[in-house]
Copies of this chain bind each other. A is one copy, B any other.
Amino acid sequence: MSKILVFGHQNPDTDAIGSSYAFAELSRLRGLDAEVVALGEVNEETAFALDYFGVTAPRVVTSAKAEGVDTVILTDHNEFQQSISDIRDVTIMGVVDHHRVANFETEAPLFMTLEPVGSASSIVYRQFKAEGRELPKATAGLLLSGLISDTLLLKSPTTHPTDFKVAEALAEISGVDLETYGLALLKAGTNLATKSAAELIDIDAKTFELNGNAVRVAQVNTVDIAEVLERQDEIEAAINAAIAANGYSDFVFMITDIVNSNSEILALGQNIGKVEAAFDFELKNNHAFLAGAVSRKKQVVPQLTESFNK
């Protein structure tokens, strides 16, 4: 049997790493020769989780073919532009995800399990449970970290009613206190001062194809929005460089306050009118406040999609 690579999206976040790590394990239990890999270096938040549970970061790959692999399983994403570079040349055996479906197609039938829940990790947890398989402590810890990260400790509107029980169960298996560990994990991801502006806008960034436009939507978590905005000039220079280098039509940068659950939106690009219409606000000096917004998936991308399609 030939090897199967399991991975989350580019610019992996904690849910991408946690869900792919656990799903590779589940796939091995099901009899497949599956290896977890990552499409980029882990961020500081994920590094905290891996360190806490004593797990080595998955090795980074950029091409399946270069690894001699022609079958892959995706977690926490489905859109091709967020996936491995040669995704169109390989067979997609399975997908476990909690995002919308777009820019995704296959030549043959596949396993695809999508649920509109708080994290891909929640779905992987349910599959372990449905099959009556025991979750190792570290695996449970990484799934819990994925869920905490994606839902900002169950506070994001993307949190599904079922996620609270999932978090409880995973906290128990992994032997941590949910609130204490959760806050420590999220805080580990807010250490932005040591990052260059170019790193900042790439910590958690995804490209969306909106009505023919390549729109980059990046997000950073912080406990102090003003501190990030002090670096606005530097950040704008990095964004403009990224636009020039990658051909993005627009760059939407979310600076999210994880304590008060709000975001500041900084946007540059060709369709600023559409960005403003999406959120019914006016950018001043290229940025504006978006009260209550913490979720890119639920509070930013659908609004942009609708506005760009008008």
Which residues of A are in contact with B by a Cβ distance under 8 Å?
98-117, 130, 297-298, 302, 305-306
For residue A103, which residue of chain B has the nearest CB?
B105
Contact B105 A110 (CB under 8 A): no
Could you tell me the distance in whole angstroms from the C-beta of A288 to the nearest C-beta in chain B? 23
Contact A101 B111 (CB under 8 A): no
Of B104, B106, B302, the contact of A108 (CB 8 Å cutoff): B302
List, sorted by A's number, 21 A–B pairs whose CB atoms are closer than 8 Å. Answer: A98-B109, A99-B109, A100-B106, A100-B107, A100-B108, A100-B110, A101-B101, A101-B110, A102-B105, A102-B106, A107-B305, A108-B116, A108-B298, A109-B116, A109-B117, A110-B114, A110-B116, A111-B116, A112-B112, A112-B114, A130-B130
Task: For the complex, give the distance between the alpha carbons of A98 and B108 in Å.
Answer: 9
Could you tell me the distance in whole angstroms from the C-beta of A160 to the nearest C-beta in chain B? 10
Task: For the complex, give the distance between the alpha carbons of A100 and B109 in Å.
Answer: 4
For residue A305, which residue of chain B has the nearest CB?
B107
For residue A113, which residue of chain B has the nearest CB?
B113
Contact A105 B113 (CB under 8 A): no
Contact B107 A306 (CB under 8 A): yes
Could you tell me the distance in whole angstroms from the C-beta of A93 to the nearest C-beta in chain B? 9
Contact A115 B111 (CB under 8 A): yes
Task: For the complex, give the distance between the alpha carbons of A98 and B107 in Å.
Answer: 12
Contact A112 B101 (CB under 8 A): yes
Task: For the complex, give the distance between the alpha carbons of A302 and B98 in Å.
Answer: 27
Residues of B within 8 A of A113 (CB): 112-114
Could you tell me the distance in whole angstroms from the C-beta of A117 to the nearest C-beta in chain B? 8
Given A113-B112, A114-B111: A104 in contact with B106 (beta carbons within 8 A): no
Could you tell me the distance in whole angstroms from the C-beta of A2 to the nearest C-beta in chain B? 17
Residues of B within 8 A of A99 (CB): 109
Task: For the complex, give the distance between the alpha carbons of A103 and B110 in Å.
Answer: 15
Could you tell me the distance in whole angstroms from the C-beta of A91 to the nearest C-beta in chain B? 11
Task: For the complex, give the distance between the alpha carbons of A117 and B109 in Å.
Answer: 8
Could you tell me the distance in whole angstroms from the C-beta of A239 to the nearest C-beta in chain B? 25
Residues of B within 8 A of A101 (CB): 101, 104-106, 110, 112
Could you tell me the distance in whole angstroms from the C-beta of A151 to the nearest C-beta in chain B? 13
Task: For the complex, give the distance between the alpha carbons of A56 and B105 in Å.
Answer: 35
Q: A99-B109, A109-B116 are in contact. List 11 more A-B contacts (CB 8 A).
A: A100-B107, A100-B110, A101-B112, A102-B105, A104-B104, A107-B305, A108-B302, A109-B117, A109-B297, A110-B114, A130-B130
For residue A109, which residue of chain B has the nearest CB?
B116
Residues of B within 8 A of A106 (CB): 100-102
Task: For the complex, give the distance between the alpha carbons of A108 and B158 in Å.
Answer: 11
Residues of B within 8 A of A107 (CB): 100, 302, 305-306
Residues of B within 8 A of A305 (CB): 107
Task: For the complex, give the distance between the alpha carbons of A101 and B101 in Å.
Answer: 10
For residue A116, which residue of chain B has the nearest CB?
B109
Contact A105 B100 (CB under 8 A): yes
